Amino acid sequence: MEVVTVSPKYQVVIPLSVRQSLGIKPGYKIQVILYENRIELIPLQPIKKMRGFLKGIDTTIERDADRI
């Protein structure tokens, strides 16, 4: 567990070990959620990382004959 300090501008620095394990780079977006009595920071995946995640999925849809 890492401990960080809030600056006078309400900024925090994400520790290097956390940034490396999550692959966070400058410019990445992080979602901030207030959950019960704590703050959760969730890194959003860049759109480029999503490329191809549906590859191989079956997109055929069965339709009723009277609806075609």
Residue 29: name the closest of 20, 16, 17, 42 by CA: 42
Judge whether 25 and 16 are in contact, CB under 8 Å. Answer: no
Domain-wise residue ranges, the chain:
16-67
| Whole-angstrom distance, CA of residue 49 vs CA of residue 28 | 12
| Number of CB atoms found within 10 A of residue 44's CB | 10
Whole-prediction pTM: 0.60
How do residues 15-64 score in pLDDT, each as one tens digit? Answer: 999 999 988 899 889 999 999 999 999 988 777 777 777 788 887 888 77
